[in-house]
Structure 1
Amino acid sequence: MSHDSLPTTPLSLATSDALFTRAKNHIPGGVNSPVRAFRAVGGHPVFMQSAKGAWLTDVDGNRYLDFINSWGPMILGHAPEIVLEAVRGAIGNSLSFGAPTQREVEMAELIKQMVPSIEKVRLVNSGTEATMSAIRVARGYTGRNKIIKFEGCYHGHGDSFLIAAGSGALTLGAPDSPGVTQGVAQDTLTVPYNDLPAVERTIAANDGQVAALILEPVVGNMGLVAPAEGYLQGLRDLCTQHGIVLIFDEVMTGFRLARGGAQELYGITPDMTTLGKIIGGGMPVGAYGGRQDIMDNVAPAGKVYQAGTLSGNPIATAAGIAQLTYLQQHPELYDQLNRTTTRIADGTRQICRELGLNYTVNQVGSMFSVFFTDQPVTDLESAKTSNTEAFGRYFQAMLHRGIYLAPAQYEALFVSTAMTDDLVALYLTACRESMREAHGL
């Protein structure tokens, strides 16, 4: 198979299947993160061995065009030389110190330059750690207990975030996972995304009790869903009026939709921001930051405790600084990413129309989703009208044509700068054939 071609014969996944069988004896469900198990799409997960540019290679030697890109951070494609060089230069000096390093200061300065709403920032080890910490700081700053989150927005696996919506916007949530206590759940208020009146009612019903409102400004965890016009500004105004800390979870969107993230794209200034993914260049990392008067509550400057031995890890910061610096110096990359992703989204819409499939394709910048529904998708309820069985058939058809998509209908897809026009054409050819196969056309 040539470098820029897709498979013409059925894939052999024997080694992946054998590894999954072994893994299930030692790892819960055989995977270290649930979506990797392929339960939403059927079949067994594919075990990857290497990647370069836009291509993944699995343990059986099969190659795939990658539209996950490690769930966002590989914005420059896999194994970009500028990041690898930075990592190679750092590893000889040890992998961890448990003490301050110069790169931590440089990373903080770089984040502040690129995201002006962040006046001080604390590095952590994951997006989940960032959101958990931001909520604690907001509670410490305001002296209030409750938070507002949105149906379909995912903020990691912290207890406060694993709450299902109750019946109606004013009903307290219930734990969505065993191990989350009702005591935690009662402090989490859940409302529909893109429904500003529901937020107003919830704040009114909990007057003076809400510490923070946290959301993905552009949602990537119920598939890609954009904010309605004026929605983010409406949330900003409500939070200002009621003394609520507005937290933008930009773990996915930060430095991907624009150098300054979704807040730059939409012109909204949050009080706090959580970051991850891209700022590690593929290494585990996260960060939370915001206004100085809020962040000065974090220990040792203040009384809100948060710590981490590996926070500011020298290898992760080396990789992240290299990638962020490159993005900062090459703003034209965002125009390129937008054009490429628009070609993919528009082409997918056209294929669906030609096949008589009135499906919804949402796109913001270099993120997109194909929803197997004829309804506009603006929130979790409309996303749930998707035909997940048809999506599963489509996923498998694409996989066997060498296209690696997110193995769930409710996940966004990510495009990297390694995705050329020729590769877009390969994707669209596979999309057309897979749509036909998935629907028996």
Structure 2
Amino acid sequence: MTTTGYSTRGADPTTAPAFLAPLDGQSTAVLPVVAELRAQGRARFAAVGLPTIKNEAWRYTNLRDLAKLAVTTASGDAPIDRLPTVRADGQNGPRLVFVDGRFRADLSTADGLPDGVLLTDFASACQNHSGLIAEHLGRLASAEDRPLVALNSADLTDGVVLRVATGVSVDAPIELVFVSVGRDGATTASHPRALIVLEAGARAVLVEHHVSQGDNATLSNHVAEITVGEGATLHHCKAQRENAASFHLSHIAASVAAGGCYDNFILTIGARLSRNEVVSALNGGDARTHVSGGYMVRGNQHADISTIIDHAQPNGTSREVYKGVIDDSARAAFQGKIIVRPHAQKTDGHQLNRALLLSDSAEIDAKPELEIHADDVKCSHGCTAGELDDAALFYLRARGIDKETARGLLIGAFLSDVLDEIAEAPIREAFQGFVAGWLEEQR
């Protein structure tokens, strides 16, 4: 995967010790590749610490409040009341569940998976599929130039491994559920790693749920390394709905081979502070990526969406559509960059971000970028921010609809377009329900 010039200048090494948990002797450390990655991550994070706003990539997201916290780990054995799903009531399907970053076999199942699919936790994969771990771990997500990837590597103890063999299609959604419970009077941290490998011609649908049980403060720092083989397709949807005391940080690094497609959708509703980074590298001819999402924040929430689409080969296609709703004193940031390498002729790239501001104190920072080194390309970007249409609001109220209901209808209509970017109907309907729940709470 091509590097993208991310700099750690402006990182604060004084924050490093509080975030580095003692090595706990997990069985994953017996693999040389894991032990080496953890050692490299610890050394790197100890040197640079958390990024600050002096770092250009973090200029709109300040981790000052996070840096003040002393974090600890949780056991992961808390009882769980209810698990989210995109399936209809009574249906079962493949699902891995993690509580405070720890795999819970008692809540997980691999039912319904066809032959040729490996779905397991990270520790089991290290014991039984060490070759797969050695081949893919740390190949796409670099601890060298991203401090939070370094932190994830340093404290890596658990996560998920998914491999879909050549030509295999998984029709049922595979669900990954991450529940943050935490501990009373403490801020707990978890650092799951995901390795997703689709071999040539494979197809899968992956849904992530990130939720909280209770109101304890937690830090979730996720890293996913995704390899999409030739002609393979991965639909990857994520719903982040953690509580208002939590910090959610995520980095997705995807590599797409010739003729492959990586389709990503992220819905951000929860967390006190969240940042979702998506880096999709089109490393083969005729590769495609579709990166989209919706963000809805209020109160003093902060949501950051940072994307890099890297066209490294000819005839690549990328589409990026984000829409956000910001209320009260909340703040959002969108940084989207499309890179077209010199050999990536015939590239077709499109980027759009639209934000709806519901109050005078709501704020959006936007930084769309095109970096083009080829001359036969078609690339565009657009970025807008505005308020609710007073005329439309008046029209609805004139027909007997109260103000809050009318506002909800207009906000829902604004978001409906981006939800249509979700290709799988059951997932789209479930996410529409999440949005409807947020709007109901807003009323």
Could you say whether these structures have the same fold, taking a TM-score greater than 0.5 normalized by the shorter chain as the test?
no
Q: Which has the higher strand share?
A: 2
For CA contacts below 8 A with separation 6 or more, give which structure has more relative contact order.
Answer: 1
TM-score, normalised relative to structure 2: 0.27
TM-score, normalised relative to structure 1: 0.27
